[in-house]
């Protein structure tokens, strides 16, 4: 499997990170196929640095670097130069996780929009893929992406409506689904997951968050993504193995691997 979105720098992995990462390729009772690739995403400059360091230690793990909307209030213009250098030096394979979050508003919305726009412009200049966070900010996220001219990226853990999904597909974006598709209240999300073309579909954990059913309440990791793959395969009328191969190839294509 290719876990297209995780956060292995998160403090919840501090006690056993090395053991968890070393074991990902080995099939388990929860995951009979194993994990071949992971994209671990930054949510701040420091988080991005930690993921770059992890990518140096684990050849199957790749890093994305960016400033999440929660951290927008601490963003400095000089951070753009650092992100640019990381991408040009192939220390990161995408700009992310970036976007808007109107659920928590940990940073003022004006700051979120400014920082999002700056990072989108950088990605456009570099022709770098973006990893997009959108929580309860659907119209503003779409409008900023559309206006930026960025056409390489993924909507991470998609949560929007089917109509908006079509807009993102028309822009050329990939769409990723997490363990949320296994939740009891996922009917609208399942409709979206069924509508994404095979060649634009990605799967992810968002580890350590969003563990799928039947593992709700556990710390999520990439092994548990097999349950998500099975649910999506059932929904889309294919085998888990076919879905895993397709999403792996899609992620490799998007991130240039």
What pLDDT is recorded for position 131? 98
> Each residue of 108-132: pLDDT tens digit?
999 999 999 999 999 999 999 999 9
Residue 187 CB burial class (10 angstroms; 0-12, 13-18, ≥19)? exposed
CATH of the domain at 236: 3.20.20.140
pTM over 0.85: yes
Q: Residues 235, 190: contact at Cβ < 8 Å?
A: yes
For residue 247, the enclosing domain spans 2-254
Domain count, the chain: 1
> Each residue of 14-40: pLDDT tens digit?
999 999 999 999 999 999 999 999 999
What pLDDT is recorded for position 74? 96
């Amino acid at each position: 499997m290719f876990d297209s979105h995780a956060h292995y720098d998160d403090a919840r992995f501090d006690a056993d990170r090395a053991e968890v990462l070393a074991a990902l390729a080995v099939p388990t009772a929860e995951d009979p196929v194993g994990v071949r690739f992971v994209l671990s995403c930054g949510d701040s400059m420091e988080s991005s640095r930690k993921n770059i360091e992890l990518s140096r230690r684990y050849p199957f793990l790749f890093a994305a670097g960016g400033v999440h909307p929660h951290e927008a209030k601490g963003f400095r213009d000089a951070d753009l130069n650092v992100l640019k250098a990381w991408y040009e030096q192939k220390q990161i394979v995408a700009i992310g996780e970036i976007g808007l979050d109107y659920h928590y508003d940990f940073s003022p919305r004006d700051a979120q929009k400014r920082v999002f726009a700056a990072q989108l412009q950088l990605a456009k200049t570099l022709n770098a893929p973006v990893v997009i966070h959108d929580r309860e900010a659907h119209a503003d996220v779409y409008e900023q992406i559309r206006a930026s001219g960025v056409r390489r990226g993924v909507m991470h853990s998609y949560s929007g409506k089917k109509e908006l999904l079509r807009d993102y597909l028309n822009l050329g974006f990939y769409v990723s689904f997490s363990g949320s598709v296994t939740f009891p209240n996922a009917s609208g999300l399942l409709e979206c997951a069924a509508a994404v073309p095979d060649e634009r579909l990605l799967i992810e954990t968002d580890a350590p968050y969003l563990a799928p059913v039947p593992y709700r309440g556990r710390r999520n990791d990439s092994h548990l993504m097999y349950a998500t793959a099975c649910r999506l395969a059932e929904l889309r009328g294919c085998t888990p193995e076919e879905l895993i191969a397709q999403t792996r190839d899609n992620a490799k294509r998007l991130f240039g691997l």
